[in-house]
Amino acid sequence: MSTLRNSTVEPGTYRSMPDAEYRAIDALSNSDLMAWANGEGAKKIDERNARVGTAAHAMVLEPEVAATKIVGLAPKQKRASYDGPDDMLVLSHSEYQTVEGCYESGLKHPQFSQIIKHAHANRDMCELAVVFTCPHTGILRKAKLDMHTDEWLYDIKTTQSDPDKFAASIANFAYHVQAATYLQASRAAGLELKGFRFAPMCKRKDMGYPCWIQEIDNDLLRAGWKENERLMGLYARYALDTTNDIG
């Protein structure tokens, strides 16, 4: 049985697509590809990290969502005690403090604050869902791009790493492959950008919730393009026949 993807969603760029609708698109994301390459099944989601990451993204990229759909509970109040609307993102007091600390730190950083300002003023440049055909294999792919300017594609990441450790983790966690995939998606969307940058938000209170802009070394980015192409070639070859084993 083939595991190649197909979808009723046509290739194109979709703005303001809800996350649930994006996840339902039957196309291969970067996370899907990396999980397949590493022989991993569906991972158990760390709910706390997911809530903090979603809320931090909303504060930077979707201020209207942050203002109307996020609830921070009082100290010692349990999430289970919340009895408000079902469509709210409910954060514990400590979770909300972390998100607020990250956001306020971002506002104080000269470059990160410009990202926030740009995102709030240019909503049409944020949260772009792109469905595209891989030029090497013909497989349908998808990516949700956080934000772009006229020159750069940005990806917001909440992390426990400081700037030095985050730089080292780019190759370790294959973030360079993600960068290449997202740039490929941006080209499919008709964007002509100079390159890719991460915008990390550190969740560590003891470090003052540092935020910064992280560029990728050109050699590492080129390696990301090559690795993406290699993995897609393997996926196209072996996903057609589940009896094959690449191990």
pLDDT of residue 229: 97
pLDDT of residue 222: 96
pLDDT of residue 239: 75
Measured in degrees and rounded to the nearest 5, phi and psi for residue 215 equal -90, 160
How confident is the chain (247 residues) per 10-residue block, as mean pLDDT? Answer: 58 90 94 91 80 97 95 94 93 97 98 98 96 94 97 96 89 93 97 96 97 94 96 88 50
Token pair, residue 160, equals 């426990």
Total count of residues recorded for the chain: 247
pLDDT of residue 42: 60
pTM over 0.75: yes
Residue whose tokens read 């191990």:
247
Element (H, E) at 102: helix 93-108
Amino acid at 79: R
Q: Say if residues 153 and 198 touch (Cβ distance below 8 Å).
A: no
pLDDT of residue 122: 97
Query: CA-to-CA distance for 238 and 219, rounded, in angstroms?
Result: 29
